[in-house]
Amino acid sequence: AGFIKSPLSQKRLTQDSVELYCEAIGNPIPEIQWWFEGNEPNETYAQLWDGARQDRVKINATYNLHSTSTIYIANLTGDDSGTYECRASNDPDRNHLSKSPKVKWIRSQANVFVIERPDIQTQLTSTAGKLVLSCNLTDPHSAIEGHEWKHGDKILQTDVESSTSTTYEIEGKEEEHSGTYQCIYKTSPEIKGEINISVVPQVVAYKKSEHGNEGDTGVLTCKNPSFPPVSSWTWSRNGVEVGAVSSIVNGSGRYIIKSSGNKTELRILKLNIEEDTGDYHCIATNFFGKGEATVNLRVRSRLAALWPFLGIVAEVLVLVTIIFIYEKRRKPDEVLD
C-alpha cells in the first residue's frame, strides 16, 4: 500500500470544525484507519472511530479501485489539538489478534492546532436613517491583513486595513435589511463575528388576490422574507381562526394548511361561491412579535366562461329581432306607373 494523498496540517479556532483527507492505493485495496496523539507528555496514540468524542467525530471511507477516507471533527476544543495519523495496510493479517502482519501499517501524519477563539464585540446602531454595524476584535492571535463584510454568500465590503475594529453602513430601516451579517478578520485562521438584524415577521402574500373555480381546490400562499424565521403560522378569516400548524395532519373541514419555515400554504377543497369568497389572513409569529398579510379569494362559477358567449348570442338575437320588426312595419315602396 502507498499514499497518493496525505492529510495536511491546519490551524483552527475553538468551536470551529476541521476536515482531514487521506487516499491510499494498493493491491488488494488497503484499509484506512485514523489515530490520534494529544500534546500531553503521557498521551499515546488511540484509534478514532465514527461517533467518537461524543459524536463530534465523523469518518467516511470508500473502497473503490483505491481507498479514500475523510475525518471530520466538529465544535473543536483545546483537547483536539495534536497529531492525527492516517494508517493504511492491505496485509491479510493486519487486524489479527495473535499473528504479526508481514507488512506493517504505513502512516501519514498531520498536526491540528486549535487556538482559543478571541472575543469580538459587536454593535448595531441606527442614526439618521442609517444602520451602522461595528465589530471590535480583542487580542488577535495573528496579524490582521484586512476585513470583509458578508450577508449570506454576498460580499458587501472588503479592505486591507489592519485595524482591530471595522464598520459597515446600511441605508434604510431595519425591516428592509434584516438578516445575519458577518464581519471577517483576515488572520490565520480567519476570525468571524456575527450581527443579527432581527424584526417582527414582514409577511407578504404571494398574490394579494386569488381566483378559483367552483368545485376546484383554492391555494393561498404567504411568505416571510425577514429574519429571524417564523416559529408558527396560522390562518384566519374575518377574525375566526380556520386552522393551525397542528391541523396539517387531520385538516379542519375543507381546510388544509402546510407550513415550512418562512412559507405557508392554505388549501381549500371544493370551493363554494357563497361560503369561501372573502379575505383570508396569514399570521406569522416569531420571538419578536407577529406579522400578517391578507389574501382576497374570489370564487367563480364553472359557467363563468360561458356568460360572455351567451351575452353575444343574446345581443345578436335582439338585433335580428329589431331588424325583422322594422322591416315588417316599414311602408311598402310606391308602385311605379
Q: Is the same domain home to 262 and 285?
A: yes
With beta carbons less than 8 A apart as the criterion, state whether 136 and 185 touch: no
The residue ranges of DSSP E strands in 17-144, in sequence order, are: 18-25, 31-38, 46-48, 57-64, 66-73, 82-89, 106-115, 120-127, 130-137
Is 177 part of any domain? Answer: yes
Determine what percent of the chain falls in helix, strand and coil, rounding each to the nearest 5: 10, 50, 40
Is 322 part of any domain? Answer: no
Residue type, 287: F
CA distances, 284 to each of 197, 228, 234, 259, 294 (Å): 18, 11, 7, 10, 12
CA 162 – CA 186 distance, rounded (Å): 9
Q: Is the same domain home to 67 and 111?
A: yes
Q: pLDDT at position 205, please?
A: 94
Of the residues 52, 84, 115, which one is the last residue of a structural domain?
Answer: 115
Q: Is the same domain home to 111 and 124?
A: no
Structural domain of 145: 120-197
Of the residues 115, 150, 175, which one is the last residue of a structural domain?
Answer: 115
Give 194's contacts (C-beta < 8 A, 6+ positions apart): 122, 180, 181, 182, 183
Q: Is the same domain home to 96 and 147?
A: no
Q: Is the same domain home to 178 and 158?
A: yes
Give 335's contacts (C-beta < 8 A, 6+ positions apart): none
Q: pLDDT at position 303, please?
A: 65
CATH number at residue 81: 2.60.40.10
DSSP calls for 174-215? GGGS-EEEEEEE-SSS-EEEEEEE--S---EES-SEEEEETT
Q: Name the nearest CA neighbour of 20 among 48, 40, 53, 46.
A: 48
With beta carbons less than 8 A apart as the criterion, state whether 115 and 14 touch: yes
Spell out, as residue ranges, where the chain has pLDDT lower than 70.
97, 99-103, 239-252, 302-307, 330-337
- According to DSSP, residue 78 is labeled G
Local structure of 250: helix, strand or coil:
helix
Is 318 part of any domain? Answer: no
Is 317 part of any domain? Answer: no
pLDDT tens digits, one per residue of 168-206: 999 988 999 999 999 999 998 999 999 999 999 999 999
Cell of 163: 485595524
Q: Is the same domain home to 84 and 37?
A: yes
Q: Is the same domain home to 44 and 148?
A: no
Is 324 part of any domain? Answer: no
* Location of C-alpha cell 374570489: 298
Q: Is the same domain home to 17 and 101?
A: yes
Is 53 part of any domain? Answer: yes
Q: Is the same domain home to 222 and 291?
A: yes
Q: pLDDT at position 246, please?
A: 34
Of the residues 70, 91, 115, which one is the last residue of a structural domain?
Answer: 115
Total structural domains within the chain: 3
Q: Cis omega (within 30 of 0) on the bond before 28?
A: yes
CA 239 – CA 294 distance, rounded (Å): 12
CA 134 – CA 224 distance, rounded (Å): 27
The torsion angles phi and psi of 114, rounded to 5 degrees, stand at -100, 115
